[in-house]
Amino acid sequence: MMDFSVALLYVFSGMAVAGGLGLVLCKHPIHGAISLLFSMLSLAGIYALLDAHLIAALQVIIYAGAIMILVVYIIMLLDLGSADAQTVYRKAGLMGLPLLALLLLLLGQGMISVAGDAAAPPLAQGPVVCPPGVACETDCGDGVDQDGDNMTDCADTDCAGVAICFGTVEAVGANLLGPFVLPFEIASVLLLAGIVGAILLTGRKPGELEPSVPPPAIQPGSIADASGSSEAQDTEGAV
């Protein structure tokens, strides 16, 4: 009989793929968004099966709880109906399908070739083996700081690959403030830029808007239309 967690893995994976397909195939944006929500939740389930409970919880809070809600909110605010979404799909599908097939082929081939030699090493169960001449946390479960670096047990990055520490809050935190401290910190700069940008582009008070000018008229049937640009003098079509 199949292991229960393996069965769950298949269920979650199937749901994730089905949700993704739903996102692409649903005619109405809201239905698509709800499919995506299920996809996100299934991903959280997969993370939980991988013993990454913290990541699973964060996935649900951030993606299912915050991002998807905002996505749906904006779809509703803009009142996007299904009619808006149906125009160009066929052409896009014609172009996309061969690419998709190619990618699937490559991925499948790659997976079959990799499947034999399990890429990721299994998590260690026993004590941590220190590199010669370097002190490290040897026992990750005893509450004692062996190497004297003020980081005990799972909080020490030495323990990152040990089964009992994998995916714990301590281990994730130690990784974020250890090997991945640079992206972690730079993300804050990125977020600052995001906040300033959002305020800048949306936050003008009504009274401070530039004097309202009608946008320049688009000449009907101009070449600009053909290339999808409403700007002046796009002569791309002449090529």
Partner 1 sequence: MTALLDTLEGTLGGWGTTLLVGFVALAGLITVNAMFMVWFERKVAGWVQGRLGPMEHGPQGTLQTLLDVVKLLGKESIIPAQVDRKVFLLAPVVAFLPALAMLSLLPYDNNLTMTDVESGLLLVFAFGGVSLMGIFMGAWSSNNKFALLGGMRAVSQNIAYELPLLLSAMAVVLCAGSLNLGEIVAAQTGENGLWFIVMQPVALGIYLIAATAETNRAPFDIPEAESELVAGFHTEYTGMGFAVFFLAEYTYMFIVCGIGATLFLGGGDGPLLPGPVWFILKVYFLLFLMVMARWTYPRLRFDQLMNLAWKFLIPLSLINLLATAAVLKFVEVGS
Partner 2 sequence: MGLYLRFLPELGMLGLALALFLVSVTIGGESDALDERRRDERRRTAAYVSDRIGLLGSVGVLVLAALAIWQNGTLFFDAYRVGLFSQLVKIVLAAGLVGAMWLARDARNIPVRDRPEFLLFMTLSTLGMMMLVSADELITFYVVLELSAYCLYIMVPMASGHGSHNEASYKYFIYGATTSAVSLYGMTILYGLAGTTSIPAIAAALGAAPSTLALAAVVLAITGVLFKLAVFPFHFWAPDVYQVSTHGAAAFIAATSKVGAVAALLRLLLVGADVEQLYWVLGGLAVLSMTFGNLAAIAQKDLKRLLAYSGVAQGGYILLGLMGQDSAGYTAATYYTIGYLAMVLLCFLVIVEVGRTLPESEGGRPSNVLPISALDGLHQRSPVLALALLVGLLGMAGVPPTAGFTGKWLLFKAAIEVEAFWLVLIAGINNTIAIYYYLIVVKAAYVHGAEGQPRLEPGLMAKMAGVGVSLAVVFLGVFPQWVVPALDRAMNALLGG
- Sign of the C-alpha dihedral computed for residues 200, 202, 203 and 206 taken in this order: positive
Q: Which residues bind partner 1 (CB under 8 A)?
A: 4, 28, 30-31, 34, 37, 41, 44, 53-54, 56-58, 60-61, 64-66, 68-70, 72-73, 76-77, 168-169
231 binds, among partner 2, partner 1, none (CB under 5 to 8 A by kind): partner 2
Q: Report the alpha-carbon distance of residue 75 to residue 33 in Å, rounded.
A: 9
User: Ramachandran region of residue 39, left (φ > 0), alpha (ψ -120 to 50) or beta?
Assistant: alpha
φ, ψ of residue 12 to 5 degrees: the values are -65, -40
Q: How many residues bind partner 2, per CB under 8 A?
A: 47
Note whether 233 binds partner 2 by CB under 8 A. Answer: yes
Shortest distance in whole angstroms from residue 77 CB to partner 1: 8
Quick one: which segment of 23-31, 45-53, 160-168, 201-209 binds partner 2 (CB under 8 A)?
Answer: 201-209
- CB of 8 or CB of 223, closer to partner 1: 8
193 binds, among partner 2, partner 1, none (CB under 5 to 8 A by kind): partner 2
Shortest distance in whole angstroms from residue 139 CB to partner 2: 23
- CB of 58 or CB of 136, closer to partner 1: 58
Judged by the rule CB under 8 A, the positions of this chain that interact with partner 2 are 103, 106-107, 109-111, 113-114, 119-121, 178-183, 186-187, 189-190, 192-194, 196-197, 200-201, 208-216, 229-236, 238-239
